[in-house]
Structure 1
Amino acid sequence: MSASNHLPVPYFELNEKYVIVNQSIIASQSFKRTNSFMELLDVGSTNKVQQYLETRRNGKIEANMSTIHSPFVLFTMHINWVGMSAHVVCIEQDGSLQELIQQVNKQSQRLAKTDFELLEKKEELEDTLDRVKRLSAPFITISAELAYVPFYGELDEYLILMNQGVISSKVHKADYDYLFFDFSGVGSVTEQGLKALLRLVQALQIMGIQIRLIGLKPEHALFLQGNDLKKRAEFNGSLADVLRKHM
């Protein structure tokens, strides 16, 4: 199975007739089964996307698509042609992490109005809010070409999953050339966390972003031995080194 099947976003590989020859698992779970990519588009977006694909240009375009859960969802499509094949990454225009926080906040407000018997559940919910905050990876714009994401705490699969929506959304809204992931604030690293980060890096690279890893500690470097991240991303020293080189 190709690594592209495990990308954390909907991904399609199309032939010259826009027939789907490969797609990520998330794409198959999000859209109906069909051979034609055009059948996944809203009627009003079909001509727009087809005309763009016919130019064989690499770039991005907004279009409405019909998902399993909704007939009308706005996506940004990042398109990259390799020979006669088009590689399309679809980013839904919303923030999954922000939705999660809003849902938790609403639940917290509801529990705050209940009686004392629900105090224990309220405390558990507050712990969840704290965990979401701890696992947040802030997206910081350094310049028009450079963005910076420092990780904090344990780098596990949950941290990546909770933040990949925000990172992907921020990236597709700007024309960054480089994205730096900073490990300075990372304690331990899990194998599943590295695999999730690798999938995120692959998706960002399809969108044309060059990835750099900085702030690695000796124990992190040892853990990265044998991981494909070493092939996908470059390694730099520190944020100060980055700023001296790029600013």
Structure 2
Amino acid sequence: MQHFDEQLPLPFLKTDRDGKILSYSNLALENFDLSSGRLNDLVDGENIGKLISYGKGPNFIPITIELNMKTKRNPLALFDVHIVWDRNDHANMIFLPKDSANEDLMEKLMELQERLASTDFELFEKKEELEKAFIRLNQLSGPFIPLSDSMCLIPLFGDLTAEKINIISEGCLKSIFAGEYDEILFDLTAVGEVEGKGVEKFIQLIKTLNFMTGSIIKLIGIKPDLAKVLNNYSFDEWSQINKSLKQVLSIYLNEKTSNM
């Protein structure tokens, strides 16, 4: 037998096909009585058949078997034995003890896995709640407000994003479709940051409303920084920019009065 002079964290043995021990590590010498030089003398009698059957397996494919081993400390101790056969037809084996400490560790790992799974589910629920809250927030950021049977106001709040316009559009189009509105006002006074995709979605909404009602969509409360962004898009055919809600309402009321 040859002493394998490498510091390994687990016992290591190398044997030939007949079970003769060719080399061993320090921990193998500490754990097993190697005086006979035979692997069979270290394995419980009922487990020798299992070891022999696995010893006849194909080369180079790592395998793991569970064996009761005779150690210096215990008459029998359970090990996971990891075996790989090399090109010289030698079995290289590492012995992982399956003692109560390992079982306790596995139980703790399983408990941890269960807690992580539970935490993942809770996080998923919180994520869903947060997504619903964002959707609700976006819906409230563009409420549909009927001012009369033919006039409605949609004030926009916060940043102009594609996601927000998509959510606002759904409720807006349903309300317009259900009524007979020919005066549609968008108040942009409270708009914050503007995304390019958000502007594109907003212009698409204006075009759609114009197509549905045949009316020019009125935009009010446009700030200078927003005006610079909107100037990059051509949508005068479907919209009209007004200074304030007061101005639009004054014109609307005067027209109604003159028609009476």
TM-score, scaled relative to structure 1: 0.50
> Greater shift after overlay, 114-123 or 124-133?
114-123
Counterpart in the other structure of 2:85: none
- What are the ranges of 5 or more consecutive residues in structure 2 without an aligned counterpart? 1-116, 254-260
Separation in structure 2 between the aligned mates of residue 127 and residue 150 of structure 1, nearest angstrom: 24
The equivalent position to 1:122 in structure 2, one of 99, 120, 125, is 125
Residue deviations 1:161-209 (CA, integer Å, cap 9, x gap): 1121211111111111111111112101111111111111111111223
- What are the ranges of 5 or more consecutive residues in structure 1 without an aligned counterpart? 1-113
Task: Give the superposition deviation at 1:242.
Answer: 2.2
Residue deviations 1:65-111 (CA, integer Å, cap 9, x gap): xxxxxxxxxxxxxxxxxxxxxxxxxxxxxxxxxxxxxxxxxxxxxxx
Separation in structure 2 between the aligned mates of residue 133 and residue 120 of structure 1, nearest angstrom: 20
Counterpart in the other structure of 1:79: none
Greater relative contact order: 1 or 2 (C-alpha under 8 angstroms, separation 6 or more)? 1
Separation in structure 2 between the aligned mates of residue 186 and residue 165 of structure 1, nearest angstrom: 19
The equivalent position to 1:223 in structure 2, one of 220, 229, 235, is 229
Alignment of 1:127-146 (within 5 A): 127-136=130-139, 137-146=142-151
Task: Give the superposition deviation at 1:240.
Answer: 2.3
Separation in structure 2 between the aligned mates of residue 115 and residue 243 of structure 1, nearest angstrom: 56
Counterpart in the other structure of 2:186: 181
Contact 1:216-1:237 at 8 Å conserved across structures: yes
Question: Secondary structure at 2:169's aligned position in 1?
Answer: helix
Matched to 1:217, the amino acid is K
Separation in structure 2 between the aligned mates of residue 160 and residue 117 of structure 1, nearest angstrom: 31
Contact 1:134-1:153 at 8 Å conserved across structures: no
TM-score, scaled relative to structure 2: 0.48
Runs of 4+ in structure 1 off by over 4 angstroms are 114-117
Counterpart in the other structure of 1:10: none
Alignment of 1:139-178 (within 5 A): 139-178=144-183
Alignment of 1:29-178 (within 5 A): 118-136=121-139, 137-178=142-183
| % identity of equivalent residues | 25
Q: Is 1:194 the equivalent of 2:195?
A: no
Contact 1:138-1:150 at 8 Å conserved across structures: yes
Matched to 1:150, the amino acid is P
Counterpart in the other structure of 2:244: 238
Q: Is 1:206 the equivalent of 2:211?
A: yes
Matched to 2:231, the amino acid is Q
Matched to 2:191, the amino acid is V
Question: Secondary structure at 2:236's aligned position in 1?
Answer: helix
Separation in structure 2 between the aligned mates of residue 160 and residue 219 of structure 1, nearest angstrom: 19
Contact 1:160-1:197 at 8 Å conserved across structures: yes
Separation in structure 1 between the aligned mates of residue 235 and residue 161 of structure 2, nearest angstrom: 15
Separation in structure 1 between the aligned mates of residue 237 and residue 230 of structure 2, nearest angstrom: 11
Task: Give the superposition deviation at 1:157.
Answer: 1.2
How many equivalent pairs are there? 134
Contact 1:198-1:228 at 8 Å conserved across structures: no
Question: Secondary structure at 2:233's aligned position in 1?
Answer: coil
Counterpart in the other structure of 2:110: none
